């Protein structure tokens, strides 16, 4: 009896396994249709698109690098020009200051020479007055100096 009951279940078991296989095939076909895997042509097209995108990105990166290099070069040129202008301004300012120093030195030398000449004139005038006073003086009996030159004949006295 046991064999009879196992043989009775055999067609049911086969039917269940077969129906599960059919269900699995049906699910696989539905998955292929609904969320299906791409065909070889679609896969190749996607690969070509990805490759084209990579090439395009590489070109954009290269173009961006080139633009950045050009901008850096332009900025360096601007900095170089600005440095040159500043150096020229500094050189001009130095030259102007040197000229002002030279002019001031010349003015001071002229003023010093004029003052020196004035001092020498005063020394000569004072010296002349002393010589005239010494020449035109006598001494009294008690040893006192007596100056005989009248005041109006003396050279102009030195300003004190």
Helix (H, G, I), strand (E, B) or coil at 83: helix
The confidence score (pLDDT) of residue 118 equals: 95
Check residue 36 and report its DSSP letter.
P
One pLDDT digit (tens) per residue for the chain, 160 residues = 455 566 666 777 777 777 777 777 777 776 666 556 667 887 888 889 999 999 999 999 999 999 999 999 999 999 999 999 999 999 999 999 999 999 999 999 999 999 999 999 999 998 988 888 888 888 888 888 887 876 555 555 555 4
pLDDT value of position 31: 65
Q: Would you state the structure tokens that stand for residue 68, as one six-digit string?
A: 């950045």
Q: Which pLDDT value is given to residue 135?
A: 85
Q: What is the pTM of this model?
A: 0.44
CA distance 106 to 111: 9
C-alpha angle 151/156/160, rounded to 5°? 110
- The H-or-E segment that residue 71 falls in is helix 40-135
């Amino acid at each position: 009896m046991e064999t009879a009951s196992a043989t009775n279940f055999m067609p049911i078991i086969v039917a269940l396994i077969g129906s599960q296989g059919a269900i699995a095939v049906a699910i696989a076909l539905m998955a292929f249709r609904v969320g299906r895997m791409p065909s070889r042509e679609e896969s190749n097209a996607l690969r070509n698109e990805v490759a084209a995108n990579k090439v395009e990105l590489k070109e954009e990166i290269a173009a961006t690098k080139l633009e950045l290099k050009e901008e850096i070069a332009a900025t360096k040129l601007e900095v170089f020009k600005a440095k040159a202008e500043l150096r020229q301004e500094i050189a001009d300012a130095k030259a102007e200051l040197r000229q002002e120093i030279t002019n001031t030195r010349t003015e001071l030398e002229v003023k010093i020479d004029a003052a020196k000449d004035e001092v020498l004139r005063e020394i000569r005038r004072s010296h002349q007055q002393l010589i005239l006073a010494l020449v035109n003086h006598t001494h009294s009996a008690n040893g006192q100096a007596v100056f005989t030159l009248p005041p109006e004949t003396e050279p102009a006295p030195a300003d004190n």
